[in-house]
Amino acid sequence: MKKPNYTFGDVALEILSKMKKEHINSNQIKKEFDNIARQKKYIKGCPRSTFYYVVAKGYLKGFSGFKLTDKQEKSNNSICVDLALDYVQRNDVTNIAPSTLWKYLELKSTSSRNKDGAIQHNNQMDVILALFRANALDLN
């Protein structure tokens, strides 16, 4: 059976819609993201952490940020999100694929490498691009 064309970006947009309708506090964001992802049979920590970081940093229009721990601030995921947000803000990403955006970032994170040593896209860019294309990010 062919997998539906549903991405972690779609999960991010769905949780964003839910956040606008309901009061979801910072402690519930990851749980709600997982609940939606689980319904679609998508379970991964990196896209969830990407969405959480975007919300925490106040990059989501209409939502104020919240404090992250030092460990969260300095994680590989937060570094890749900051680089991606900077890139999408300065470049036309209308038709760019998540894996292409990942390659443009030229990340040096060893934790994101596959067994051959190549940097692998782990669905974080799906979240960034979906939010950017939905005009949901406040990057100023």
Task: Write down the pLDDT at residue 136.
Answer: 93
| 90 occurs within a structural domain | yes
Tally of domains within the chain: 1
In a domain, 1, yes or no: no
CB 11 within 8 A of CB 42: yes
Indicate whether 118 belongs to any domain: yes
| pLDDT score, position 116 | 63
> Three-state secondary structure along 55-113?
HHCCCECCCCCCCCCHHHHCCHHHHHHHHHHHHHHHCCCCCCCHHHHHHHHCCCCHHHE
Backbone angles phi, psi at 119, to 5 degrees: -75, 130
For the segment 1-35, what is each residue's pLDDT rounded down to a tens digit? Answer: 344 577 888 888 988 898 888 888 777 887 887 78
Write down the pLDDT at residue 29.
81
CA 39 to chain centre: 18
Secondary structure of residue 3 in the 3-state scheme: coil
Domain-embedded: residue 139: no
Give pLDDT tens digits for 93-122: 888 888 888 877 765 444 455 566 565 667
26 in a structural domain: yes
Kindly state whether residue 77 falls inside one of the protein's structural domains.
Answer: yes
Evaluate if residue 130 carries a pLDDT over 90: yes
101/107 Cα distance (integer angstroms):
11
- Neighbouring C-beta atoms of residue 112, cutoff 10 Å: 18
Identify whether 127 is part of a domain: yes
- Stated pTM of the model: 0.79
Task: Give the Cα separation of 139 and 66 in Å (integer).
Answer: 16
pLDDT tens digits for range 32-87: 877 887 777 666 777 888 888 898 888 989 888 888 888 777 776 777 888 888 88
The alpha carbon of residue 131 and the mean position of all alpha carbons in its chain are separated, in whole angstroms, by: 8
- Give the residues across from 113 on adjacent strands: 119
Contact 59, 137 (CB under 8 A): yes
Q: Would residue 3 count as lying in a domain?
A: no
